[in-house]
Structure 1
Amino acid sequence: MRDAVGSFVGWPSDLIFPDAETPTRPTHKVGKGISRRIESVASQKEVPGRKLKSAAKDIPTTSGTKSQIMMRLEKMVDESDIMHGAIRSIDFDEGVFGAAHFEIIAKEDMQQLFEHDELGIAVIHTYIWYMYVTLMRGTELCNRFNFIAPSRINATLITKNPTSVKNDLVDRFMAAGDNTTPSLYFLPFNSGNGGHWVLVAMDLSRLIVYYLDSLSGDWSKYPSMKKTVDTAIIKFRSKKNYRNRKDITWVRVQCPQQNNSVDCGFFVLRFMRDIIALNRIDIPKMYFEEYKSYSRAHLDEMKDELCQFIVDQRII
């Protein structure tokens, strides 16, 4: 992947040009006209209180074609200053990652979406924001599902400072409050240096960690990640004075598998989407009967959802 996961870019104040026409919204803030001179790194199911909306319900998405909403957004991007190096800066709801989060969207991020390319961290974050706003916010699902920002927990940062990453993970657990009832923490984990995406889903109350990888293999490929997760869970339970009544159990889920070299990020997003839509804390080892495999249409559906969300939020 082109995005360097875990890097942070500081933007000089003289590169920021406020746009008076940018609409204000109660849930987030979009900054426009920020010149980007260096690369930053950055099946419709019903759930309680929310429904997944079809982004392009009048034009079904088929493999190899672009939907009406995607073509509309692509035209908006082509006609914007993003094509000339500008970026968009977005403040997410604090509920998304348990703390304030600032995201940067640029041309290459949009191109990943339009061209079905390897996903970088900005698109992963933004689709997570979409799921939070569309499926979870204001419902009991916020007590059942939590997201961990992969910009803060990834292989690159673990290599540089494992103690800091572990403490960040503990802080995320603490921010959610009560963890004595079953809930899942989703960690989209990147192997570093533009590498592979996998999903780690943690149930702190039952000491179960689900591992979902759209390629063959298990967590043994990432021993530092497993060690970080295990030690963070133990430290969290110690701070809460919970008894460690048993060892942490890792479960490799037989999830849908990708058949190319670019879909891992899309699969990780789809895993989270389906688990939330089905409102399931327990993930079957053989995955869900409803989703034994993912077609290109399943992935295109997510892209259309995100395109519609970006248009609705007036990010461009």
Structure 2
Amino acid sequence: MWKRARVPKSGDIEDEKLKKTMDKIDECIRLKHEGELDTNMLEEDLLSYALQKSEHSGRVRAVGSYITPSVFFKYPKERRQHMRKDEMKNTEMHKVIEEYANIVKNLQERVSQLEAEKEKDKDTEEKGSCSIKQPCLWMDEETDKDKNNVDEVVLIDKVDAVKGVARSLEFTSPPQKAANHKVVNESKVKCFDSLHTSLKMLCRYVDKHLTNGEGIFVQFDFDIFGKPFELYVHADDIVDFCELEPISGNCIVVYMWHLYKKLKNSSVSHRFCFVDPFDVSYVNKYKHDARTLALANRLENISPGQLVICPCNIKDHWILTVLDPHKEIIYHFDSLGECMFDNTWKTIVNTAIYMFNAKLQKRGKKQITWELMKCPIQPDFKQCGFFLLRFMKDIIENTIESGSCSLRLLDNQTYDRKDIDEVRVEWASMLMENI
């Protein structure tokens, strides 16, 4: 978009400086795709890197109005502040490492000096009287009190000691933690013994490999959200999932990936389309215009009869919205019933449908139909995310099995622990495939 805005209608760019800048942008994109360039996405993207100008504090270049750095880079303000602190810590850590390197260098020089002194002492002894027996280095102290022997042993001990310290400093560096991810140990998963085998295996992996903020990398097909998408599932995501605590968007997206794979291998893959929940969910100080635009963009290529699966978090509560844009009908699933119905979300979805109609040059209805669907009710305030996963599972798997989609199948149903555990096991197995 930045490049297009600077190309005249004729298509000819006469400004040599601008040509060089555009060439540099193309080169940065190539290096990024080949894995040779790693920009700090917290503060800059490829464009700001190529321009050698820091990103604007209130917006992101070339992505449209109302798109702030926190929205575009998916880092809330609090997280950015923490990560900046961690960057400062990393700077201090580099200073410490440099000090260690200087110490190692000095110690290595001292080792060389002591070894030279040792060789010098040996040469001196070898030049002495041949009738004098050379001292044994490992002779018992009580049987040999020879001063030269003692001095030589002390010298060797000094050399070995200094060498040991030098090696210790040379190969040991301060441990580092990734920003905003708590350290997890085995005691974090309190219900470990009651977990299914696949969840236990995942917890063991967390205990062994994800102790310092590392994550399990998951890369998605372009088609699932109509864009490149990848993420890291961290230890705190997994622990909360195993403990039946409120789950993150990372957990939701991983299960959507599982359902997408099942759909892809079926004859009804054309019936559903998925929306990235990070694009449409509530974030503090996030303009709902950006959420509307993201949803409208996702609806652009929806064909008649295709349903749009859209999980959304509305202020710490997960709901499921299924859209039929061509019929202008919205199906609303909420495991808390109607008590959490969000008018802002309704406005966002309605506006996205109006934009969809305008794109098709279609007049559309005066009022979009919202159907509040009957569905199982969660037993506590923590399990909305798990019920959301089960809603999607039942809708999609029933469509695969029957060949037709029925959104009424959840009427008068209830979920017990076994129903939720089926989802948890599938989720854990899906995640283990990416390890």
**2:370 equivalent in structure 1:** 250
1:182 aligns with 2:305: yes
Contact preservation (8 Å) 1:218, 1:252: no
CA distance in 2: counterparts of 1:144 and 1:87, whole angstroms = 33
| Counterpart-to-counterpart distance in 2, 1:102 and 1:112 | 21
**Alignment: residue pair count:** 256
Distance 1:106 1:178, change over 3 A: closer
Amino acid in structure 2 at the alignment position of 1:313:
N
Displacement of 1:113 after TM fit? 2.0
Name the counterpart of 1:152.
279
Q: Answer 1 or 2: higher relative contact order, Cα 8 Å, separation at least 6.
A: 1
SS of the residue corresponding to residue 151 of structure 1 reads helix
Q: Which amino acid aligns with 1:66?
A: L
Q: TM-score, normalised by structure 2?
A: 0.54
Alignment partner of 1:232 is 2:352: yes
Equivalent of 2:407 in 280, 283, 286: 283
CA contact (8 A) 1:237 1:243 kept: yes
> Are residue 90 (structure 1) and residue 232 (structure 2) matched?
no
CA deviations on 1:105-135 (whole Å, 9 max, x unpaired) are 11101102221211111101111111112x1
Match of 1:36 in 2: 178
Structure 1: runs of 5+ lacking an equivalent: 16-33, 41-63
Q: Which residue pairs with 2:390 in the alignment?
A: 270
- Partners of 1:138 and 1:269 in 2: CA distance: 20
Distance 1:205 1:282, change over 3 A: farther
Instruction: Look up the equivalent residue of 1:38 and give its one-letter code.
Output: N
Q: 1:114 to 1:245 in 2, by over 3 A?
A: closer
| Residue type at the aligned position of 2:179 | R
Q: Would the aligned equivalents of 1:202 and 1:209 in 2 still touch at CA under 8 Å?
A: yes
User: Does the aligned pair in 2 maintain the 1:69–1:307 contact within 8 Å?
Assistant: yes
User: Using a 3 Å threshold, how does the CA distance of structure 1 residues 143 and 240 change in structure 2: closer, same or farther?
Assistant: same
- Per-residue CA deviation, residues 179-204 of structure 1 (Å, 9 max, x unaligned), is 2x212111111112xx1111111011
Residues 263-291 of structure 1, C-alpha deviation per residue, up to 9 Å, x if partnerless?
1000111101110011154422xx436x7
1:309 aligned onto 2:430? yes
| TM-score, normalised via structure 1 length | 0.74
Compared CA separation, residues 167 and 264, structure 1 to 2 (3 A): same
Please say if residues 311 and 319 of structure 2, whose CA atoms lie closer than 8 Å, have aligned partners that are also in contact: yes
> After superposition, what is the alpha-carbon deviation per residue over 1:176-233, rounded to whole angstroms, capped at 9, x for unaligned?
x242x212111111112xx1111111011221101111113167x3111100100101
- Report the CA distance between 1:89 and its aligned residue: 3.2
> Does the CA-based 8 Å contact 1:182-1:281 persist in structure 2?
no
Determine if contact 1:211/1:218 at 8 Å carries over to the other structure.
Answer: no
Q: Is 1:216–2:337 an aligned residue pair?
A: yes
Equivalents in 2 of 1:272, 1:85: separation in Å? 30
Match for residue 246 of structure 2 among 99, 118, 140: 118
SS of corresponding position for 2:374 = coil
Determine which structure has more spread, i.e. the larger CA radius of gyration. 2
**Aligned equivalents of 2:250, 2:215: Cα separation in 1:** 12
Question: Root-mean-square deviation (CA), in Å?
Answer: 2.6
Partner SS, residue 283 of structure 1: coil
Report the Cα distance in structure 1 between the residues aligned to 2:387 and 2:354, rounded to whole angstroms: 29
Which structure is higher in helix share? Answer: 2
**Cα distance per residue 1:142-168 (max 9 Å; x no partner):** 3111111111101226x5222222111
Report the 3-state secondary structure (helix = DSSP H, G, I; strand = E; otherwise coil) of the residue aligned with 2:216.
strand
Where structure 2 has 5 or more consecutive residues not aligned to the other structure, the ranges are 1-69, 91-175, 183-192
Identify the structure with the greater strand proportion.
1
Distance 1:167 1:281 in 2: 28
Pair 1:197 & 2:318 matched = yes
Number of the residue aligned with 2:361: 241
- The CA distance in 2 between the partners of 1:297 and 1:132, in whole Å, is 23
Percent identity reads: 25
